[in-house]
A and B are shown apart, each in its own frame.
Chain A
């Protein structure tokens, strides 16, 4: 169930790009106030935000 479906070589190739990106993101997310919410599908501009 938890198998990623990729070979070890494929995972290592992807991780070489992904790891530094996720490290930077995690540094940003650690600074988030705990109440900052998200939605599963985030819509940046809601109708209610229209002028």
Chain B
């Protein structure tokens, strides 16, 4: 059931908020022991809140599309009185005394919190194979990763444990799990969603956004998160007028043939409904990714400097990245920011001729747990660098990007495509995603 369908059923009294919540809690009880999507389940408080919202609805108070809808928050988002670990041993006993603004906003919209989802340690990685809280598994094939860092969020919404889950995205951490789990994820324009009360990783790269089963569910969740921000442009009246750029370089190199075929097939489908497909040459994405890596290494090391003496409290992969970050000279960090400015300007020029850039979200389907390398066009590549190469650069730009399902591989694993838009044109991506 989608959020809209659940809402209709609620208002027609065919189901109650409590029943929707119990259905999700039942799914969690049934599947979480195998998938490990949740670190904390807030069953008791969720049932109380759902009953209160049933009472409200019965008395004529309707908070809108998310009224009574069960959701989950990534476990680095502060929730008052509820454990918030960031997937880290450092914060394993952290119980915030206040909700993050995004939590307050979604609660005010009537969403019911069923729990906190697991993640890659401190959101610094793409496997969600967490040494402190266990391995999160892909619902389609539990021998595979769900992606990350918002791996628990992807697994939870894919399996009806929640209708929507919040995620954070510093180098693909919403879009990668969306792609690997076969759900939708939106990385909004930088700065649109309030990041207060959320454990940072890269201060100039962090974004907050929703993961959900459909584009429409993602859209309704996004609207609740941004609450009518006047900077947002309206969606176009018709998607037939949208000019879609299809990259001639980079994005279709070093990807699996199944991903390439599925995404190009979707581009042809867009052309059939009237959208204009424009072949484009994109700026230097390899340089953009390098800039993103240098900035993130330095910014993450700055955040975790107070914990450098506690080396035993970090997993090996995260510790290696923090060590690298400690050694990035300030000169290189600042020059990375200068190169960033030039590359952002080049992307604005590209978007003078197109409205949306259509690309694959990930170059492969979900790798196996523990798989260190993936083969792409006969070349072995580091799994983390390969998985982030199509998404990381967009965090450097701050432009909005949507990851959505685009068919399945021969093995039945989801394939994801990515729509990238101009700043504050998030609704254009959602409108196009709905018709694709």
Chain A interface residues (CB < 8 Å from chain B): 4-6, 10-11, 13-15, 17-18, 21-22, 24-26, 28-29, 32, 36-39, 41-45, 47, 49-51
Report the minimal beta-carbon distance from A33 to chain B, rounded to whole angstroms: 8
The interface residues of chain B lying within 8 Å CB-to-CB of A5 are 308, 326
From B397, which residue of chain A is reached at the shortest CB distance? A44
Known: A6-B327, A38-B337, A41-B203. 6 other contacts (CB 8 A): A15-B327, A36-B342, A42-B337, A44-B340, A45-B189, A45-B424
Q: Could you say which of B326, B336, B344 contacts A4, with CB atoms under 8 Å apart?
A: B326
Q: Does B190 contact A (CB under 8 A)?
A: yes
Q: Is the CB of B341 within 8 A of A37?
A: yes
Q: For the complex, is B265 an interface residue (Cβ under 8 Å from A)?
A: no
Contact A6 B332 (CB under 8 A): no
Residue of A nearest to B286 (CB): A24
With contacts defined as CB atoms under 8 Å apart, how many contacts are there between chain A and chain B in the complex? 101
> CB-CB contacts of B362-388 with A at 8 A, as 1s and 0s?
000000000000000000000000000
B424 touches A50 (CB 8 A): yes
Separation of A37 and B233 alpha carbons in the complex (Å): 29
CA distance A44 to B222 in the complex (A): 20
Contact B339 A4 (CB under 8 A): no
Assess the A32–B335 pair: CB atoms within 8 A.
yes
Judging by beta carbons under 8 Å apart, are A42 and B204 in contact? yes
Interface residues of B in 319-346 (CB under 8 A from A): 320, 323-324, 326-329, 332, 334-342, 344
Residues of B within 8 A of A (CB): 189-191, 203-204, 231, 233, 286-287, 290-291, 293-295, 297, 308, 320, 323-324, 326-329, 332, 334-342, 344, 396-399, 423-424
Closest to A38 in B: B337
A36 x B320 contact (CB < 8 A): no
A4 and B327 in contact, given A25-B339, A26-B335, A32-B342 (Cβ under 8 angstroms): yes
Query: In the complex, are the beta carbons of B328 and A47 less than 8 A apart?
Result: no
Known contacts A5-B308, A44-B340: does B231 contact A25 (CB below 8 Å)? no
**Of B293, B297, B338, the contact of A36 (CB 8 Å cutoff):** B338
Which B residues are in CB contact (< 8 Å) with A36?
A: 338, 341-342
Q: Are B190 and A44 in contact (CB under 8 A)?
A: yes
Q: Which residues of A contact B338 (CB under 8 A)?
A: 29, 32, 36-38
User: Cβ of A41 and Cβ of B334 under 8 Å apart?
Assistant: no
Per a CB cutoff under 8 Å, which of B323, B340, B397, B424 touches A13?
Answer: B323
Closest to B189 in A: A45
CB atoms of B335 and A29 under 8 A apart? yes
Contact of B327 among A11, A42, A43 (CB under 8 A): A11
What separation, in Å, do the CA atoms of A8 and B109 have in the docked complex?
A: 53
Are B191 and A45 in contact (CB-based, < 8 A)?
yes
Of the candidates A14, A25, A47, A51, the one whose C-beta lies within 8 Å of that of B324 is A14
Cα distance A20–B399 in the bound complex, in angstroms: 27
Measured in the bound complex, the distance between the Cα atoms of B332 and A18 in whole Å is 11
Q: Which of B327, B342, B424 has the most CB of A within 10 A?
A: B327
